[in-house]
């Protein structure tokens, strides 16, 4: 169980990829292509690469976690060749209105953190391009240097996040993520204010497969109070209590 560091302000956790920028930037496509190329570089043909990529993503949450478990893959080499080689600077750009949204979050009331399944350099790079790096207190990321590192939506990941930020009370967590499974998992742990960022109709890539983004629930999905939004500006309406009064 996480312990409070004495700072009793709630934390607003933002997922980074496909949340702070639109899926229309097609960064998940670029990631999927590079991961596919990585599997092919291990000697697999294209069909085998696609099959294994999807299997590891489904089973472990991230292709890399299967690669480190079952193959002799250096996660830092993987990160350099995959996320590290994406020309992010030409794919996403600074959006003044997003910076304004972050500036309007009242820091006397809440703290703001990033919560990503990427490794730290990629997360920092995205935040720098978006000019949000000075408005985010810390980043919880998948630590590729740790053997069998955890990721969303595993409960251990959220516990690790709270521990890192020094927050003990899950009812003080605000969280927005484009992956519904990630927000469902947080909600199940008592994170009280969860929002699904859902750009319905756009395409994203998961486990190497192109998928149309939708807010349909699978039959065994938990029944909860999570709302979905298609624009982060809607957070001003959903969470009015965290913004400065204008």
Return residues touching Mg ion (CB under 5 A). 15, 17-19, 178
d(CA 126, CA 94): 10
Tell the smallest beta-carbon distance from residue 165 to Mg ion (Å): 19
Tell the smallest beta-carbon distance from residue 17 to Mg ion (Å): 4
E strands along the chain, which residues? 11-14, 111-115, 138-140, 173-177, 193-197, 203-206, 209-212, 227-229
Tell the smallest beta-carbon distance from residue 23 to Mg ion (Å): 9
d(CA 185, CA 118): 18
CA distances from 212 to 91, 98, 143, 205, 228 (A): 20, 24, 29, 9, 16
Cα–Cα nearest to 193, from 175, 181, 177, 179: 175
Tokens encoding 134: 């000075």
Nearer to Mg ion, 49 or 183 (CB): 183
- Stated length of the chain: 246
Nearer to Mg ion, 46 or 201 (CB): 201
CA distances from 224 to 69, 71, 79, 191, 235 (A): 34, 38, 35, 12, 18
What's 222's DSSP letter? Answer: -
Strand bridging mode 138-140 / 203-206: unpaired
């Amino acid at each position: 169980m996480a312990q409070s560091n004495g700072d009793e302000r709630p934390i607003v956790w933002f997922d980074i990829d496909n949340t702070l920028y639109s899926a229309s930037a097609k960064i998940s496509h670029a990631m999927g292509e590079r991961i596919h190329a990585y599997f092919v570089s291990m000697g697999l043909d294209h069909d085998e690469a696609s099959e294994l990529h999807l299997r590891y993503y489904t089973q472990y949450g991230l292709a890399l976690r299967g690669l480190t478990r079952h193959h002799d893959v250096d996660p830092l080499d993987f990160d350099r060749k995959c996320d590290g080689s994406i020309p992010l600077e030409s794919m996403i750009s600074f959006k003044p209105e997003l910076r304004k949204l972050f500036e309007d979050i009242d820091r006397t009331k809440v703290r703001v953190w990033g919560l990503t399944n990427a490794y730290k350099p990629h997360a920092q790079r995205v935040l720098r391009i978006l000019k949000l790096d000075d408005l985010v207190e810390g980043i919880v990321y998948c630590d590729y240097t740790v053997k069998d590192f955890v990721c969303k939506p595993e409960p251990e990941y959220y516990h690790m996040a709270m521990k890192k930020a020094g927050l003990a009370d899950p009812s003080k967590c605000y969280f927005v993520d484009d992956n519904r499974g990630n927000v469902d998992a947080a909600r199940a742990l008592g994170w009280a204010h969860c929002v699904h960022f859902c750009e319905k109709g756009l395409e994203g890539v998961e486990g190497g497969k192109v998928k149309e983004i939708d807010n349909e629930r699978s039959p065994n999905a938990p029944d909860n109070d999570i709302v979905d939004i298609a624009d982060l500006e809607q957070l001003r309406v959903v969470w009015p209590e965290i913004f400065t009064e204008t």
